[in-house]
A and B are shown apart, each in its own frame.
Chain A
């Protein structure tokens, strides 16, 4: 996927000013997620769970190569093909080979943020493969030609009526169709796709090293169908998804579902360990299973001693839901596949800081994200690391540098500082409004009242 982060402010403004319904839809959906998450953790020791999850993930990441090789060995024993892809174009090549050799014409696809990260759908379409997103939310935005705006709820920025309109235009449902009727129309169409597709594509929430199991969480049953009906299944798994032990999995499944939607666990959990009929496994399933282990910047981020912790992310989206910045715009403002707080630390790490600015600055540093992260990623601290680096590399504005330089040199000269505080009160309002930064302030807010004495003056006069 191309990154368009540079336009963050303009896109955010456009969403807030021109499509207020997006802001309302995102706010309502995220509030529901937040409330449900809170209920789900009400009777649990969330801190103990997240401490445990943090430890397991950090351990797995610090022994990543060993666990990945262990997972690979188990998968190969069961007849799966394991591919290692360093870049997006490596993934594309792997798909191209499989698609060409097998004459694939139609693919059904489960929701996968990694597939968005590497721009899989446009690539497959360029190879002549028709791709059906089978998650209902993903299907809606596929019809609309939009990227997902949220990690878990890709179409939360859309209203029911938006879906009515696009389904009316594309699937011929009545303009006022009920949600049930809309779901039925999608199901009819997708059922046919499941039965006629040559290829099923999925991501992977977790990859258990000990057993070589790919675990997939979902609510709609579309992942189960995508991964079991077509004769070929390709699972795209980010290398950071590995868990050491089978016994680690149940808690991670629960913590992820509770953090994401407040469900005790997803409606369906699929465990995939090999193709159909593989030794010691069930007879059902695809004839071929390919597992593509994708790096795409992860190794580089893992080697970054200050920023690697972002890789613990389990993609639950809890930090987006709680983020008051995200909630004003939804994910499209960010111009990168991962939005919100987590996008501000994954983007610079996976793609590059220069390419994803100003995402680490698209945060009021309120810290709410750190409270809800189930793997205790210190998101505000990591955003701050990237801010520091942006400043060190000269990537922030000259005005900002001058203003803060001026503040520093004044603040280390107390007499000058006291005088400046007093003098600020003498500046006429029209002048103030045109000073750098105050201009942006004054566009939607009244400037602070500056009249009256400073505290220093009150103190000198004597406080009664």
Chain B
């Protein structure tokens, strides 16, 4: 099986190690991973803010880059949702839409993997569900099941499905509200060693706020934890 990795603009810049972990993980599962070098940004920031021609330009570019890919796998729920759910509104025949998957979704729904290893034995984690993964892709159980199958305890968190306040440009257009939303998440966090999420934007938001407040909990991308689950290496 061959997949194309769409690292996404945030993943390329801020979560390079996690994206490399995604490559390691997929290769360890006998998946051939390629990285089309012309990939850039999926266009979500423009779409979200209502700038349609710009969003369409970036969508067309991305669709062309992945035109020949059997599967496009993204270590990002909201960018995967952009490709699958929004591209059909922007492009005439976006074949890329139905071939795009968030990483955990791809592992569970396409590769039909139920366990990766036992590399997370004894770990206490909280899982933050990104809104677009949850509501657009309807990815809810897949990441949690993979983490749990590797021995992690996903500690119940009453706000695990509530928005972190990132929301693309919302974070800088209504920063006070955005921060108050992050605070609500942080204030309700259970006693865990790490918070995990499939979404880079959410991680930047929660981690940025936690660091400013001096909350000493790491916020880590799902791809890295899944590789740890598989390899046992932190």
- B13-35 residues with Cβ-Cβ distance < 8 A to A are 13-17, 19-20, 23-24, 35
Contact mask A409-428 → B, CB, 8 Å, 1/0?
01110100110010011000
CB of A6 closer than 8 Å to a CB of B: no
| A interface secondary structure, majority | helix
With a 10 A CB-CB cut-off, give which of B20, B167, B173 has the most chain A CB atoms: B173
Q: Which residue of chain A has its CB nearest to the CB of B21? A: A463
The residues of A that contact B184 with a CB separation of less than 8 Å are 27, 324, 327-328
| B interface secondary structure, majority | helix
CB of B117 closer than 8 Å to a CB of A: no
Q: How far is the CA of A454 from the CA of B39 in the complex (A)?
A: 13
Nearest CB of B to A45, in Å: 18
Q: Is the pair A444, B14 in contact by a Cβ cutoff of 8 Å? A: no
Q: Is the pair B173, A445 in contact by a Cβ cutoff of 8 Å? A: no
Q: Is the pair B170, A365 in contact by a Cβ cutoff of 8 Å? A: yes
Question: Knowing A328-B184, A444-B209 touch, does A463 contact B24 (C-beta < 8 A)?
Answer: yes
Q: Is the pair B177, A12 in contact by a Cβ cutoff of 8 Å? A: yes
With a 10 A CB-CB cut-off, give which of B13, B50, B167, B170 has the most chain A CB atoms: B50
The residues of A that contact B209 with a CB separation of less than 8 Å are 444-446
Q: Which residue of chain B has its CB nearest to the CB of A416? A: B40
Q: Which residue of chain B has its CB nearest to the CB of A464? A: B24
Nearest CB of A to B230, in Å: 15
Contact mask A229-273 → B, CB, 8 Å, 1/0?
000000000000000000000000000000000000000000000
Which residue of A425, A441, A443 is within 8 Å of B13 (Cβ)? A425
Q: Is the pair A455, B24 in contact by a Cβ cutoff of 8 Å? A: no
The residues of A that contact B37 with a CB separation of less than 8 Å are 414, 418, 456
User: Among B52-60, B66-74, B105-113, which stretch is in contact with chain A?
Assistant: B52-60
The residues of B that contact A417 with a CB separation of less than 8 Å are 9, 40-41
Nearest CB of B to A320, in Å: 14
Q: How far is the CA of A325 from the CA of B180 in the complex (A)?
A: 9
The residues of B that contact A367 with a CB separation of less than 8 Å are 131-132, 135-136
CB of A9 closer than 8 Å to a CB of B: yes
Q: How far is the CA of A341 from the CA of B19 in the complex (A)?
A: 35
- A422-464 residues with Cβ-Cβ distance < 8 A to B are 424-425, 437-438, 440-441, 443-450, 452-459, 463-464
Nearest CB of B to A410, in Å: 7
CB of B87 closer than 8 Å to a CB of A: no
Q: How far is the CA of A418 from the CA of B41 in the complex (A)?
A: 11
Q: How far is the CA of A9 from the CA of B171 in the complex (A)?
A: 12
Q: Which residue of chain B has its CB nearest to the CB of A438? A: B172
The residues of B that contact A447 with a CB separation of less than 8 Å are 208
Which residue of A391, A437, A448 is within 8 Å of B14 (Cβ)? A448
Q: Is the pair B52, A441 in contact by a Cβ cutoff of 8 Å? A: no
The residues of B that contact A126 with a CB separation of less than 8 Å are none
Nearest CB of A to B231, in Å: 12
Q: How far is the CA of A16 from the CA of B207 in the complex (A)?
A: 21
Which residue of A366, A411, A450, A454 is within 8 Å of B61 (Cβ)? A411
The residues of B that contact A450 with a CB separation of less than 8 Å are 13-14
Contact mask B131-170 → A, CB, 8 Å, 1/0?
1100110000000000000000000000000110111111
Q: How far is the CA of A387 from the CA of B45 in the complex (A)?
A: 13
Question: Knowing A324-B181, A411-B9, A455-B16 touch, does A361 contact B171 (C-beta < 8 A)?
Answer: no
Question: Knowing A390-B50, A456-B37 touch, does A445 contact B205 (C-beta < 8 A)?
Answer: yes
Nearest CB of B to A379, in Å: 12
Which residue of A384, A391, A421, A455 is within 8 Å of B20 (Cβ)? A455
Q: Is the pair B176, A412 in contact by a Cβ cutoff of 8 Å? A: no
A-B contact pairs, 6 of them (CB 8 A): A333-B177, A367-B135, A391-B50, A410-B40, A411-B58, A445-B179
